Amino acid sequence: MSARASGNPGGSGARVLKLRELLHRANHDYYADGKPSMADSEFDQLLEELRQLEVAAGDLDPSSPTARVGGAPTSAFQAVPHTLPMMSVDNTYSEADFRAWHARCEEALGHPPVVTCDPKIDGLAVSLRWEQGTLVRAVTRGDGQQGDDITANARAIRSIPLRLRGDAPPVLEVRGEVFMPFESFELANEQRLRDGEELFANPRNATMGTLKNLDPRVTAARRLRFIAHGRGACEGVPGDGYRGFLKVIKALGVPVNPLTRRCATVDEVVAAIEEFRDARQALPYAVDGLVAKIDSFAEQAALGTTAKSPRWAIAFKYPAERKETRLLEVAWQVGKGGTLTPRATLAPVVIAGTKVQHATLHNIAEITRKDLRIGDMVIVEKAGEIIPQVVEVVAEAREGSELPIVAPTQCPACAGAVEPEAEGSPRLVCTNSACPAQFRERLKWFVGRGQMDIDTLGEKLVDQLIDAGLVRHFADVFLLKVDDLLALERMGDISAKALLDAARDSKPRGLGRVLASLGIRLVGESAAKMLAKSFPDMDALLAATPADLEALPDFGSLTAESIVRTLATPAMREEIRRLSEAGVDLRSQTYRPPVGAPVAATPFSGKTVVLTGTLGRWDRPALKEILESMGATCSGSVSKKTHLVIAGEKAGSKLEQARAMGVEVWDEAKLVDALDALGVPRPDRA
């Protein structure tokens, strides 16, 4: 413990309060005021001192700066309703359309309105709620009526204050954008490259992937930022307009954009749009437009909303940058389901600040429609300034030496037959289920997050294992030995052991996760979950007929036939046999008896259950489904409605809340005993 942490309890308590205030103020100075008052090294040193003091005192205040980095992974995101609808803003790309919007507002109000302009940051919209100054909820936009509760991840973002400064109102709800600055984006991709994982396509993609991660520590490591751009439900917040609102929340410690601009006339707004067109290129984060909104809240209310968007706001989006370059060749890539996708190789060209050498061509029908040929000069743009695509041919530049692009009749990877995906479909598929290119992509899918989730086994390592002949079947992943892995480039003892441990830990994930991982066409996560709820194990599913599957909710004839046909192939039967012999659990963890069969009451029937801490035996998403199949409602937070908290190792604030509120608490041993008594099979791990 730090020397300053020693001493009498009273002194330590005062030091804790002092450190919390210092670190909260440092965050405010950096993120809200943009004027750093403390070096990063000093911040980190004081944060560590505070953590030691809090642990020694047993003081686990959820509003402490240390709460940002100590959160345990959550089992799943829970959908929660927005207090007020979280609408999206209509877009326009032309000055004429923008002026028409402004004229409609002016006519409706009877006078020219004052307009405030904000940069349109390319991130993920969220709603943050503070009650009595404490952050209590963070929710994604979702469908506008409800979104995912990402409070644990939001708490890990340093620019989001856990406690507001000064005299906080009873309720403050702020809408804004979570985003990843370019510097953080580059660091995140450098780490993914080292880990052999697929790179993020762009900062917005990286932001979404980070906020959808169940581990808040990942969010903390990726240095996301937050900037406010609107309000939700508020109580006791002064101000009669947007600019005034921004001034109030900035004083409370909420970051706002210093580039926000007030415009008294439509010509001033148009000038701001033109000035920002070039200025945005120098910003340290991605921006794709400027949002104009009527400043007065009373005038906003008078203008009202449509079903999806406010009439008092509009986003002017800058058109995607286009460049001319030459189409050099077309390669056909084979996906995990055998789909062949054409990919253009281009003469390098810089678009929207990045070098572009490849672009998607979608399918052969799109190539034919655009009359693309090898050697053509083509126009390329980034769709949404993200994905490069060929827009059109520069026909007048043709010299007569250009060559037609012909759809392959044989798979470029295995020389197997290629056929349309369905009658009349423009998509082509390789029909050889033993195609090595398909297996390579299917294995990357099999081990990925949301499937078998074998941590540390990224795309580059999959390539290494296949190229070295160590993995020819899915089951081979579970049969690897340390010596096998040490022969690979840049593989050490620690990395090898971590991979083997991750493979072992994935074995008990159960039927639903295995089905989602096998790459069966038309079977995604939701279909796999339904199959696992409807069949007790793989053997029962293998015996099912198309009619059995069509009887399931949302299963059509195409899906049913695809499942039965794929599972009946000798290659898939062999994969399943090998997985079983390797110890992979092919039993359902969520099986429910057929409709009409008697369902006995369980200790979880009608109860709201919260899972917290690390559960050594159970896969958390699967356990959640098991409990819900027995009548429970699983929640991500402890409240007055909570009936039961199941606490694993290192349970934190939720366990403390449960005890303080007198909520019943079970440890994992009691949970196992209860499920054993109900006949629920234990996962095959200790």
Whether the model pTM is above 0.85 = no
DSSP-derived letter for residue 313 is E
Q: Are residues 136 and 239 in the same domain?
A: yes
* Amino acid code (one letter) for 52: Q
Distance CA 377, CA 327 (A): 6
E strand residue ranges, 134-186: 134-140, 146-148, 171-179
- Residues with active-site annotation: 120
| Backbone angle region of 662, left / alpha / beta, with phi > 0 → left and psi within -120 to 50 → alpha | left
CATH of the domain at 31: 1.10.287.610
Among 459, 475, 509, the domain-final residue is 509
3-state secondary structure 399-422: CCCCEECCCCCECCCCCCEEEECC
CB 508 within 8 A of CB 585: yes
Q: Are residues 516 and 535 located together in one domain of the fold?
A: yes
Domain boundary among 509, 535, 559: 509
Surface-to-core class of residue 424, CB atoms within 10 Å of its CB (0-12 exposed, 13-18 middle, 19+ buried): exposed
Measured distance CA(643)–CA(658) in Å, rounded: 9
d(CA 102, CA 96): 10
| pLDDT value of residue 31 | 61
Any domain includes 272 = yes
C-beta of residue 214 within 8 angstroms of C-beta of residue 162: no
* Residue 313 belongs to a domain: yes
Here the CATH number for the domain that contains residue 532 is 1.10.150.20
Instruction: Give the pairing of strands 79-81 and 146-148.
Output: antiparallel
Residues 170 and 101 in one domain: yes
> Which pLDDT belongs to residue 373?
96
> Is residue 682 in some structural domain?
no
Residue 387: what pLDDT? Answer: 65
| Shared domain check, 357 and 276 | no
Same structural domain for residues 293 and 367?
no
CA distance 387 to 358: 10
Regarding whether 270 and 219 lie in a shared domain, the answer is yes
Q: Which residues of the chain have pLDDT under 50?
A: 1-10, 70-75, 595, 597, 685-686
392 shares a domain with 362: yes
- Whole-number Å distance between alpha carbons of 305 and 232: 15
Q: What is the 3-state secondary structure (H, E, C) of 344-391?
A: EEEEEEEECCEEEEEEECCCHHHHHHHCCEECCEEEEEEECCCEEEEE
pLDDT score of 683: 63
Is position 410 within any domain?
Answer: no
State which of 47, 68, 89 marks the end of a domain.
68
Measured in Å, how far apart are the chain's first and last C-alpha atoms?
35
Residue 393: which H helix or E strand, with range?
strand 387-393
* CATH number for the domain that contains residue 662: 3.40.50.10190
Opening angle at CA 124, ends 383 and 451, nearest 5: 85
Same domain, 182 and 125: yes
Specify the amino acid at residue 203: P
For 189, the enclosing helix (H) or strand (E) is helix 182-194
Indicate whether 50 belongs to any domain: yes
Confirm whether 263 is domain-assigned: yes
Looking at the structure of the chain, the number of domains it has is 6
If residue 440 lies in a helix (H) or strand (E), which one and from where to where? helix 436-446
Q: What is the CATH number of the domain that holds 363?
A: 2.40.50.140
Confirm whether 292 is domain-assigned. Answer: yes
- For residue 180, what is the domain's CATH number? 3.30.470.30
Same domain, 392 and 344: yes
Do 136 and 281 fall into the same domain?
yes
Residue ranges making up the domain that contains 335: 322-404
DSSP bridge partners of 388: 382
Instruction: Say whether both 204 and 284 belong to one domain.
Output: yes
Q: Does residue 239 lie within any of the structural domains?
A: yes
Tokens 């989730």 — which residue?
Answer: 453
In the structure encoding, which two tokens stand for residue 400, read together?
């007569």
Say whether both 284 and 255 belong to one domain.
yes
User: Residue 560: helix, strand or coil by DSSP?
Assistant: helix
Does residue 249 contact residue 172 with C-beta atoms inside 8 Å? yes
Q: Give CA–CA dist 641/658, Å, rounded.
A: 11
671, 595 Cβ separation under 8 angstroms = no
